[in-house]
Structure 1
Amino acid sequence: MLHDNDHSPAAQPSEASERSRLAPFVVATGDASPRDQRDLMERPFFSLAKAKRTAPILYESGGVRVEVFGMADYGMATIWDADVLIWAASQIVAAENNGLLTSRFFRFTPYQLLMAIGRATGAREYRLLKNALIRLQSTSIRTTIRQGEHWRRHQFSWINEWEELATRDGRVEGMEFVLPDWFYRGVTDRSLVLAIDPA
């Protein structure tokens, strides 16, 4: 979604947006030690191909079931798109280690994210980032992971909603997205977070 406003970073989300009910987690620098949510590394949640994949992923092992569906228009979220989630998990862990409050509602600049995940910051990379956010939002996941004592199936997308904040002349000033509760709870539970070797 594109929010067209001369003073976009201060713009308030509409009441229909989930962001209107959450305090924003404003990313300060973008730098943080890489962390990942354990479930993402252990199960096939993402397409491994750069080409658009629409065939679903159906996985079952040891009583755990994972189903991943991509929309025909955009394809399934890829392992490269998952870098956005790894970055988000890293920001949450780093902030909590410093005694800061976090939220599922992220506010950041594309430059911060792209630099942190080792991408260039040109117009092409900004466009690819927006395509990644589209796939992360449009990919649907159903899983029984972390079902607890009772059998449950949880359905969600990797990003609930996102918005590009731009001025009327097209200059991008920031971005916002909301993570699903399933992912956020998995990151704030430190037993489910793994350190990643940046090499």
Structure 2
Amino acid sequence: MKVIVAPLMRMISYIPIYGQLVDTKKKHLHSATCDVFITTLFSLLPLWLYPLFSLWTFDFSLETTFKALTSNGEFFLYSAALVGPLIYSITKRYGLDDEEETGDDQQIPRRKIKLIKTIEFPYGRLFIIISVFTCLFAALFFSVMQASSQLESDIGVKIPLERDNLFFISALMYIFTLSCLFCVSVYRLDLENIPKRINEDTHNFVDEWNQRYD
């Protein structure tokens, strides 16, 4: 099994955005999975609650009702809403400042340590580019679909749009933005844990040093 898994993990490590998931702790993957699940469950509440209600109450087709709610580019809006807040996590400063002190009064003398002021977010520039282009494309496609519907209903002008294809594109975009949300959540947890790991390593080193010379 290891003969198969090792090369596969090595291949995944070279994939942009997803590569560093290979080196992530399982607890961070679990936490990020919970975040994405809760986000998806509640953000898509308007899209899945009514189809279920109409199925149980009026015996309407679940697929037909769901498609009616998402045929006008709603997934484009949800995609833009997901990636927009990611920019904060990507551009946030992680790590300890030079002026931050570590240690406690009982075990380690309080002293200043030299650390990098900021830790660059994994694939940070790529995530920002993806976020910007996702928002732009979502706005463009959603506007075109809304304009098409409005022109057809108001003045009878029909713009030839492949709505099924656009629905498929919007669903793929939403799935991709969910994967970006998952990766950003994992990497954020990794970076937020760095100061804690540094403090733990410092404590362990001082404890070993004191035990050696006591």
- TM-score for the superposition, normalised by structure 1: 0.32
**Greater share of strand:** 1
Higher CA-based Rg: 2
TM-score scaled to structure 2, two decimals? 0.30
Could you say which structure has the higher helix fraction?
2
